[in-house]
Amino acid sequence: MNRKNEHLAPRFNFDVLLELLTFLHSRNDLLAFMHTCKTLYKAGLPLLLGGPQPVFDYIEYLDWFCDFILMDPIYRIPRLRELHLDIGEIDSNWEHVVSSLITILTKANNLKKLSLLDCEEFLANDERFQAVFCSLPKLREFTIRKVDVRSMKMLEALTVPLSTLDIGFLEVEEQDEYDDHIFPDPAPYLESFADSLEVLRVKNWAFDMLGAVCPRVHTVQIDGYNHVDIDVLLHYFPNLRDLSVVCNEDKSTDDDAHAVRMSNKLEGRATWKSLRKLSGDVGSLYLLAAQCQVDHVAITKIDNENCHRVRAIIGSVRPQNVLLDTYEEALLNKSPAVNLSRCPGLTALCVRITHPRICLQ
Domain boundaries, the chain: 11-51
> With 0-12 CB in 10 A as exposed, 13-18 as middle and 19+ as buried, what is 90?
middle
Of the candidates 54, 124, 40, 121, the residue with the CA atom closest to the CA atom of residue 85 = 54
Confidence band, pLDDT 50/70/90 cuts, at residue 296: very high
d(CA 85, CA 1) in angstroms, rounded, equals: 45
- End-to-end Cα distance, the chain: 50
Residue 303 to residues 144, 259, 328: CA-CA distances in angstroms?
33, 21, 6
pLDDT at 171 over 80: no
pTM, entire model: 0.81
> CA geometry: angle at 164 spanning 105 and 278, to 5°?
155
Chain mean pLDDT for the chain: 79
Where is average pLDDT lowest: 74-78, 94-98, 151-155? 151-155
> pLDDT grade, residue 87 (50/70/90)?
confident
pLDDT of 300-357, one tens digit each? 988 878 888 888 888 888 899 999 888 766 555 555 445 665 577 788 888 887 765 5
Reduce the DSSP state of residue 299 to 3 states and report it: strand
Highest mean pLDDT among 9-18, 135-144, 221-230, 261-270: 135-144
Residue 11 pLDDT level (bands cut at 50, 70, 90): low
- Number of C-beta neighbours around residue 322 at 10 A: 22
Q: How many CB atoms lie within 10 A of CB 198?
A: 16
Check whether 146 has a pLDDT greater than 50: yes
Q: What is the rounded CA–CA span in Å between residue 106 and residue 327?
A: 50
| Percent of the chain whose pLDDT exceeds 90 | 23
| Res. 137 pLDDT band, cuts 50 70 90 | very high
* Residue 189: per-residue pLDDT: 78
Q: What is the mean pLDDT of residues 267-277?
A: 80
